[in-house]
Structure formats: C-alpha cells, structure tokens
Structure 1
Amino acid sequence: MKNQTSSPRWRVRAASRFASLTGASTLLVLCYWSFHPAMASDPRVAAAVRTEFFKRASAEFTAGDYDAAISTLENTMGHPPHPACHYLRGECFRKTWRLDQAVKDFDRTIEIDPRHASAHYSRGLIAEYRDYWDRALEEYDAAVQLDPNLSLPHIARGGIRWKRGELEQATNDLNRGIKLASEAILANPNDAAAYRARALALRTLRQFDRALEDHDQMIRLLPDSVEAHIERGRTHAAKYEQAMHAAQTGGGPEAMVAAERHKAASVADFDQAVRLATRLIEKSPDKPQGYRMRVEAFDARFHAWKDPEDCRFAVADLDMLARHAPACPTVFFRRGHLHAVAAATDGDAAAAAKHFDAALADLNRVIKLNPTFAAAWCERGLHYLRAVQRGGDAELSRRGVADLSEMIRLVPKEGRAYCARGSAHALLSDWQQALADANDAVRLCPQMPEAYSLRGLIHDCLKNQDAAHA
C-alpha cells in the first residue's frame, strides 16, 4: 500500500495544521450626580465622594466582583474626568469580556493622560486577543517607553515575538520582564502579581521548573485564586509534554514517571480551579463572574487533556452567559472556539458534525456582532480548513480562503494569515496562489518556521525540488 504520508496532498494538510496551531449584561445605573446637586457646586465635596467610591470599587475589583465595581464606578464618572476611574472601569470590562467597552475606557484614559502606560498595555492585550498583533506590539512598545519599569508589557511583547519566531528579541524582552518582576519580589516577597508575571515569562521560555516555583508562591499567597490554579495547571501540562518528549527520545523510565506526575498535578490544579469557581457560583448564583471563571477552568482543562466532558461543561456555562449577555461577541467566540476544537478532535463522527455546526453558528454570530473581530474570521476560516482535512468538499476550502482574505484585509501585516490562506489555496491545488501567500508570509515574518515549511512543501508539490531544499 502506498504511504499516504508521502503524498503531496497529505503534506499540504500537515502544513495547514501549522496555521491552526498558531491558534454581559449592560447595567442601567443612575448617575450619582442626579441625587446630589451640591456636588456640582462644591468641587471639594465632589472629589471626596469620588475618592470614596473609587476606594470601594478598587476593593470590589480586588475581590473579583467586577460587575459590582462597574456599578460603583458609575458614581465617579463626573467632571472633570479622572484617568484612574476610566482605567479601573476598563479593566473591569476587560475582565468581564466586554472588550469594546473596555477599549473605550482605555482610549478615554489615554486621552486624559497620554502617559498612562498601563492603559496602553491593557489596550494591547485586547488587540492581541483579537489577532491584531502589530497593533498590540505598538501598544506594548508605548507602555515600555512610558514606563520601562513595568514588567508585564515586556513579557507580553516577548510573548508575541516568541510566537512569531523572533526568539532573540523575545528572549531579551522576557528576561527583562523576569528581572523587573524579581526586583518587585525582592522589595515585597508577598507580591503575588510579580510571581505571576515571572511565572508567565519563565513558562514562555520553557523554564517550567522555575515557573512552577513561582506558581507555588502565588498559590501560597492566594490559595483561593481560580486563576492561580489554572496557570499552574497549564504549566504542569507543558512540563508533561516536555517530559513525554524526553521519554520518547531516550529519556528512560524516569522521564515517563515525571510525565505522569506532572499530568496528575495538572489535573489536580484544574479540578481545584473548577471547585473554587463552583463555590463562587453557589455563593452568588445570579452573578456571572463565577460562571466566567469556571469556563476558564473547564476551557484550560479541555485544551490540555481533550476530555469531551470538559468541552460540554464549558459550553453549558457559556450558554448561561450568552443568555445573560446576548450581545457580547467574546462569549460567542469562546463557545465557537470550543466547538471548533471539539469538532476537530472528537472521534465520534456524529458528535463532531454537531460541534462543526455549533461552531459555525457561534462564529457567524461573532462576525455579525463585530465585523472587525479579526480572530473570528481567522477561526472560521481555519474551521473550514479542518473540515476539508477530515474529508469535506472543496467548497469549504473556498469559504476558508474568503474568510482568511477578510482577516488579511483587517490585519494586512500578519504573516500567520497568509500562511493559513496559502494552506487553503494548496488544498484547492491552486499552487501559484498558495506560493504567493507563502512568500508573503516569509516576507512579513522572516523568522516564522511555519512559513518556510509551507513554502517548501508547495515547491515540493510543484516538483521544484531544488527550491524546496534551498
């Protein structure tokens, strides 16, 4: 029998997987000013009241009650506007997935205070989440220039550069972030945020043992933090992959034992995150934040271990959030992405087909709610391509090309989009268009290995062996 893995079509499908891998309600609150006309005529009273509300909102934010903090902050939005109030509300909106509202508050923060580095950083996080990586890098650059002593912008910038294959620049950024976080820890050994920042940087650098030490410290300080257990669970899962690779390449039985130990630890952390989020729901069943946190826990566990039950549990919580916030694109994007991954990984053909249709419906909803959500166009395009790889017809490839073309229109300098569209053209045997996209991917991201792999495979399929091995 012919070896299918040597066929050109199989190899192009393999290349397309590279691209795949480099993959609320509105509260009606009456303004405080309506009930306190004296505040408008006495700036000192207004400032004092604003300060008290801001303190209360800050405490609510720290406690994770972001919706309550948003409500409280409505009382601080007077005249003149204050950047700290807009920034804190923007962070609350970001934490509750209301990204458009968050961006408006961060924009307002920067308008009032152009040197507000944290607002640039937070705006960058949203741009990165939506696949506007160049815009995110601009925001992280601005944050670093305005306040070079903030660790998180360095770490976030290093993360994007790492994903793009720009390893030297990424390593410099990540090491700078680690140094700044270490200085913060030295100044305050109980700074949980600094331990978290350093752990994220160390994990990106694949220094998992050191990252786990910082996760342990964060959990020591915040034992009931859902996020802390999720992040440690992810790092244990990454360490499991590293140990499994060692076991399969001559590492011996010790590596296999280490792999199983990290898998068990990862599952235990995700389980604890689910339990903690469930307690939040039981305590306040009418508040959406517990459901959001449980989605994060189920989502992380599903992506780490691909248990279909975790997908089902996360989708059930997202169903509740969708009823609570029917106009929130992020809710539908999260649910659509889960369905898309399940469609690609579920061994049951009937279940996979249901996930495919559900993912498509959710991603259609995201694009209808926000046509500039680049990540949704990319996700839907890749969703079509994965279906073709599982035996779908050529029409799905054409739809994938159209969606990825729209992503390129929105983010014309993003090499990943060209790499993905090149894979779609290759599946249609449109080799010249595929090669043009691969060349653009190499031009835009000259250090991205996937772009070179795709171009080499296309040359191979065109029988141009010299170019493939040049």
Structure 2
Amino acid sequence: MQFFSGNMRPFAPAAALFACLALAACQTAGSGTDITAIDTAQGSEENIASLTAVIERNPRDPQAYNVRGSAFGRAGRYREALEDFDTAIRLNPSYFQAYANRALIHRYLGESGKAVSDYNRAIQLNASYDAAYIGRGNLYRLNGRTREAFDDFQRAIQLDTTDPRAYHNRGLLYQAQGQHNFALEDFSTAISLAPDAAEPYNGRGLSYLALGDEENAFSDFNTAIKLDGDIAEGWANQALVYERRGEKQKAARSYRQALKLDPEYGPAKAGLSRVSG
C-alpha cells in the first residue's frame, strides 16, 4: 500500500527500526536558539555562569532563559533545563523554539507524551519550523510510528532544511524497508551537510553492503571510525566486512574493540561468537 502520491516515494511501516543516531545540527532560521545547535562546550560551568549573569541583568528576557536552558541540556542538567524553558515560555507563550527545546528534554527524560505535545505546539506556532518536524519525527521513529516519522522528515526536507538529521533519519527509514538506493541518496546528502559526522557513513556503508558493494561499504566504515573511534557500531561494521572476507582474526579484533566501547552491543557479541567459533 502506498502512503504517498505524486512524486513522493512510497513507504510502508517497518516492524523494527535502527537505533537513534543524533547528529549535530545547524541552527534553523528565526530568532532564539535551537538546543541542537549548541556546541557541547557551551554546557560548561563557565558558560552557564556567564549565561546566569545575563539573566540576572535581564530577568524578563525569554531568549536568555532559552539559551541557558539549551546549555543546561547540553550539560545533561535536564531538570534545570526544563525550568528555564518553562520560564521562557511563560514570558513569551509564542516562543516556538523554546517549545521544541523543551520537547527534546522531555524526550531525554522518557516523557514521550509531553515531548509530542510540545513539538505539536511549536509547529502550531510556526508551521515552517523544520527542527520541530525533525524532532517529532525522530520521536515517532523511535516509538515505531514510522509513517508519521516519514511524513515529518519529508516535511522538513520540503522546507529546504539544511539540518542533516532529516536526511539521515529518513535514510534509516528507507534502509529499514530495504529501499537501499533511496537510503544511499539520503545518507550522501546528510554527509554533504555534516561531513565530520560518523553516523551517516555507518548508515551508508550498511546500505552499500546490502547492495553487494563491499568496497564502498568498507571505505565508509573506515571513514566512520576515523571520524569517531568511540562508536561501537563503526568497529562492528568494519568487523563484518572482515568476516565476509574470511579474515577472522581482523574481524575478531574489531568486534572486541566494539565490545570494549559498548559491552552490550548485540551485533558485536554475535559477530565475535561467529568468528571465534
């Protein structure tokens, strides 16, 4: 059954999806700050102290609370982030970026219902806010609501988003459906928008591998490891190619590295068992 007409590609619901792989995003248009655009370093104690000083000088400025809330979020101080986003919204009930940022914190806290409600409100306030569609789409994807997830990523892309997450996450949906040529296009676009991010290389490599293009797959997995050697998936993917080539010792070494990074990573556990046996 096709869900889309015209020039949209057909997509059917998936039984299972790949895990969430968030990418650093570019800031979207409009005033205010998107939490995904805050660099990790901006969650430092020094920066938060500086932002607190700004709030002390401007206690009625909703943007100041939104920015500090974003920094709290980057620092993993989620309850403090919520308080700042609550204040920003109370001072400016039309502050759509603050709703989207609060939604992300609710998601981190496992409060999916509240997260969807905030994303819905952000979109109601600004129907062209791509970050809200991407955030809500990823939440839908993780909860198995694949059709709605696809619709949201599609909408963000139709809005000419420059956020690589829209393409990366849509690529994961195509990949989960076995539509690997479409997935390759989306992963490649995500790479062009975020060339230093490892995740889309891992995604594209898996689709290359599914299409029998082992050489390009191996190249992508190696690039992913060079960009971020602390992601277990990259090592497990590299090991899978070694395993397919019959290089069991190299495969075992890469699988062990993946397990060193994430002792519970299932594909690495299974792979190491195969090559060790």
User: What TM-score range do you get, normalising by the shorter chain?
Assistant: 0.5 to 0.7
2:173 is aligned, of 160, 174, 183, to 160
Aligned-pair CA distance for 1:203:
4.2
Alignment TM-score, normalising by the size of structure 2: 0.67
Contact 2:259 2:268 in 1 (8 A): no
In structure 2, the partner of 1:195 is 197
- Report the aligned-residue RMSD: 2.8
TM-superposed deviation, 1:152? 1.3
What are the Cα deviations for residues 350-386 of structure 1, in whole angstroms up to 9, with x where unaligned? Answer: xxxxxxxxxxxxxxxxxxxxxxxxxxxxxxxxxxxxx
Tell me what 2:148 maps to.
135
Q: Is the 8 A contact 2:239 2:251 kept in 1?
A: yes
Q: 2:251 aligned with 1:305, yes or no?
A: no
CA offsets 1:226-258 (integer angstroms, 9 cap, x no match): xxx3xx2122122223322321xxxxxxx1121
Once residues 187 and 267 of structure 2 are traced to their aligned partners in structure 1, the CA distance between those partners, rounded to angstroms, is 24
Distance 1:69 1:214, change over 3 A: same
Looking at structure 2, the residues matched to 67 and 303 of structure 1 have their Cα atoms a distance apart, in angstroms, of 34
* Separation (CA, whole Å) in 2 of partners of 1:115 and 1:98: 25
Specify the alignment match of 2:223 in structure 1.
Answer: 213
Name the residue aligned to 1:260. Answer: 252
Which residue pairs with 2:113 in the alignment? 100
Name the CA distance, whole Å, in 1 between partners of 2:218 and 2:74.
28
Distance in structure 1 (CA, Å) of the matches to 2:104 and 2:136? 10
SS at match of 1:77: helix
**Counterpart AA for 1:243:** Y
How many angstroms does 1:20 deviate by? 7.7
Identity of aligned residues (%): 18
CA deviations on 1:376-426 (whole Å, 9 max, x unpaired) are xxxxxxxxxxxxxxxxxxxxxxxxxxxxxxxxxxxxxxxxxxxxxxxxxxx
Counterpart AA for 2:170:
R
**How many residues are treated as equivalent by the alignment?**
211
Could you say which residue in structure 1 is the equivalent of 2:191?
A: 178
Confirm or deny: 8 A CA contact 1:151 1:178 kept in the other structure: yes
Shift in Å at residue 51 of structure 1?
A: 2.3
Contact 2:222–2:238 (CA under 8 A) maintained in structure 1: no
1:64 aligns with 2:76: yes
- Whether the 8 Å CA contact 2:164–2:189 is kept in 1: the answer is yes
Q: C-alpha displacement at 1:212, in angstroms?
A: 4.4
Q: 8 Å contact 1:199–1:215 — kept in the other structure?
A: no
- Does the aligned pair in 1 maintain the 2:183–2:204 contact within 8 Å? no
Q: Aligned ranges for residues 72-151 of structure 1 at < 5 Å?
A: 72-78=84-90, 79-151=92-164
Query: Any idea what SS the aligned residue of 2:76 has?
Result: coil
User: Residues 134, 98 of structure 1: CA spacing in aligned structure 2 closer, same or farther, 3 A cutoff?
Assistant: same
Partner AA of 2:269 in structure 1: W
Partners in 1 of 2:104 and 2:94 — Cα distance?
17
Aligned residue number for residue 40 of structure 2:
none
Q: Return the alpha-carbon distance in structure 1 between the equivalents of residues 17 and 162 of structure 2.
A: 30
Residues 218, 61 of structure 1: alpha-carbon distance in 2 compared, 3 angstrom cutoff = farther
Q: Relative to 1, partners in 2 of residues 1:98 and 1:136: Cα closer, same or farther, differing over 3 Å?
A: same
Rounded to whole Å, the distance in 1 between the matches of 2:225 and 2:123 is 33
Q: 1:424-443 maps to which residues of 2 (within 5 A)?
A: none
Decide whether the 8 Å contact of 1:240 with 1:260 is kept in 2.
Answer: yes
Q: Is the Cα–Cα contact under 8 Å of residues 221 and 237 in structure 2 kept in the other structure?
A: no
Deviation at 1:55, TM superposition (A): 2.0
In structure 2, what is the Cα distance between the partners aligned to 1:170 and 1:52? 39
User: Aligned equivalents of 2:119 and 2:78: distance in 1?
Assistant: 16
* 8 Å CA contact 1:140, 1:154 repeated in 2: yes
Structure with greater Cα Rg: 1
Deviation of the 1:65 alpha carbon: 2.1
Q: Would you say the 8 A contact 1:151–1:197 is kept in 2?
A: no
CA contact (8 A) 2:134 2:153 kept: yes
Structure-2 change in CA distance of 1:110 and 1:46 (3 Å) = farther
- Report the residue type matching 1:305 in the other structure: K
Query: Unmatched 5+ residue regions in structure 2?
Result: 1-13, 19-57, 210-216, 271-277
Normalised by the size of structure 1, how large is the TM-score?
0.41
Which residue of the partner structure matches residue 246 of structure 1?
245
How big is the shift at 1:198?
A: 3.4
Q: Check whether the contact 1:233–1:265 (CA below 8 A) recurs between aligned residues.
A: yes
Whole-angstrom CA distance in 2 between matches of 1:65 and 1:203: 35
1:132 and 1:81 map into 2 onto residues whose CA distance is 28
Query: In structure 2, how many angstroms separate the alpha carbons of the residues matched to 1:96 and 1:196?
Result: 25
- Distance in 1, Cα, partners of 2:198 & 2:109: 20
User: Could you tell me whether the CA contact under 8 Å between 1:91 and 1:102 is conserved in 2?
Assistant: yes
Q: Structure 1: 5+ residue runs without aligned partners?
A: 1-18, 24-44, 183-193, 220-228, 248-254, 272-297, 307-470
Q: Within 5 Å, which residues of 2 pair with 1:389-400?
A: none
Task: In structure 2, give the amino acid aligned to 1:267.
Answer: L
- Whole-angstrom distance in 2 between the partners of 1:109 and 1:163: 29
